[in-house]
Structure 1
Amino acid sequence: MTMQLLRAEVESLGGLQLKCSARGFEFMIDEPKNSGGTNEAMNPLEALLCSLGACKMMVARFFYQTKQINLKNMRVEILGEIDSDRLKGKPNVKVGFSKIITNYYITADNSHEEIQAFIDFIEKTCPVKDTIVNPPEMEHHINP
C-alpha cells in the first residue's frame, strides 16, 4: 500500500473570513451576516457539501466511459439537514449534519437500470463519501 499525504492550510483573515489553501490554490470561507460573517463566501458546512458533490461528479467523469454510460449531462445537488438549535447551546443536539441527501440529475442514453448501477458505483467509489461514512482516525497537535 502506498500512502499519500494531502496538505491543506486555513488562515484567519480577521472576523470569520478564512483563506483555505492547497497545492497553490485558494478559496475563501465566511459565514452569513446573521451568523456574524460578511456573507462573502460559503461557510464550512456548505464547502463540505460542495466537496462531497464535486467528488461524486469527479468519480462520474473518471468512469462514465468505462461503465458504458452515454453521458450527455449531469448535475449533483447535495442537501444537508442540520438542527439550528446546535448554535443556541441546547444540550443533546447533534452538532453536525443529521442527514445528507444527494439528488442526481442525469441525461444519458442508457436504461434506468444502467444509470442506477452507475450511481451505485459512484456512491461506493467516492473518497469524500467514504471519509464521511467511515471516519478516519483523528488526531491533533498544538504547535508553537
Structure 2
Amino acid sequence: MADSSTTTAPDMDAIQVHETGAGLFQVEIQARGARFLADEPVAFGGMGSGPDPYDLLASALGACTTMTLRLYARRKGWPLESVSVRVSHARASLNARDSFTREVIVTGDLDETQKTRLAEIADRCPVHQTLDRGADVVTHFVAPVPATQETGTGLHMRHMSEACGSERA
C-alpha cells in the first residue's frame, strides 16, 4: 500500500466518485461539471437510484460508438441522420472473459459501402479498443485533495478523431 501522505498532481480528465451516505452503495460521480448517481439495484441491497458500474461500462461503449460514427460521417459528408446503439454485457463468472453485444442502428440515405465502412469505424472507437486490448489499472492510496472544476484535456475526443483517421470528405 502506498504511503497515505502521498499526493499527486490532479489529472484534469479524472472522474471523481464519492459515497453519498444515502444507502449502502449509492455514489455520486462528477465528470467535467456533470453529476450523476450510480448504485446497485434494490434486489442487491442498493437503492436503484442509478446505473450500476457494468451499466456505466456498457454505456461508455455505446456512447463512444455513437459519437465516433457521427464524427466520421460528418467528416465524410455522408447523409447519416441518426445513430443509436444498444449494448448488453454478460460474463459467466468473475474469472470468465466479459462479452459485450453491440447493436447499431443507423438511419439516412447511406449506401452499402458507407454502412460497411461505418461498421469498421465502430470497431475503431476508443472505448471498443480499450475493452478489446484490456487495460492496466494502477492503484495508489493518497491524501485527500480538493476536487477541481477543470474541463479536462479532451483525451477521448482526440482518440475518437484518431480512430476516424485523417480522411476528410
Shorter-chain TM-score bucket reads: 0.7 to 0.9
Superimposed CA distance per residue, residues 73-115 of structure 1 (whole angstroms, 9 cap, x where no aligned partner): 22110111133xxxxxxxxx33576210110111121222320
Give the number of aligned pairs. 131
What stretches of structure 1 of length at least 5 have no aligned partner? 84-92
Give 2:134's aligned residue: 135
Partners of 1:105 and 1:69 lie apart in 2 by 15
The one of 57, 62, 69 aligned to 1:60: 69
The answer to whether the 8 A contact 1:69-1:115 is kept is no
Give 2:162's aligned residue: none
Q: CA RMSD in A?
A: 1.9
Query: Quick one: structure 1 residues 96 and 50, their matched pair in 2 at CA, closer, same or farther if it must change by over 3 Å?
Result: farther
How much has 1:122 moved relative to structure 2?
Answer: 2.4
> Which protein is richer in strand relative to its size?
1
Partners of 1:95 and 1:67 lie apart in 2 by 42
The answer to whether the 8 A contact 1:76-1:105 is kept is yes
Give 2:38's aligned residue: 29
Superimposed CA distance per residue, residues 62-81 of structure 1 (whole angstroms, 9 cap, x where no aligned partner): 12122343112221101111
How much has 1:127 moved relative to structure 2?
Answer: 1.2
Map of 1:103-142 to 2, 5 A cutoff?
Answer: 103-124=103-124, 126-142=125-141
Give 3-state SS (helix, strand or coil) of 2:71's partner.
Answer: helix
Superimposed CA distance per residue, residues 14-68 of structure 1 (whole angstroms, 9 cap, x where no aligned partner): 3110001122221110111111001111101001111110011111121212234
Query: Quick one: structure 1 residues 96 and 62, their matched pair in 2 at CA, closer, same or farther if it must change by over 3 Å?
Result: farther
Whichever residue aligns with residue 17 of structure 2, its letter is: V
Whichever residue aligns with residue 37 of structure 1, its letter is: G
Identity %: 23
Q: What TM-score does the superposition give when structure 2 sets the normalisation length?
A: 0.70
What stretches of structure 2 of length at least 5 have no aligned partner? 1-10, 144-169
Give 3-state SS (helix, strand or coil) of 1:58's partner.
Answer: helix
Give 1:44's aligned residue: 53
Whichever residue aligns with residue 118 of structure 2, its letter is: F
Q: Which has the higher contact order (CA 8 A, sep 6+)?
A: 2
The one of 15, 36, 43 aligned to 1:8: 15
How much has 1:117 moved relative to structure 2?
Answer: 1.1
How much has 1:118 moved relative to structure 2?
Answer: 1.3
Whichever residue aligns with residue 68 of structure 2, its letter is: V
Q: What TM-score does the superposition give when structure 1 sets the normalisation length?
A: 0.81
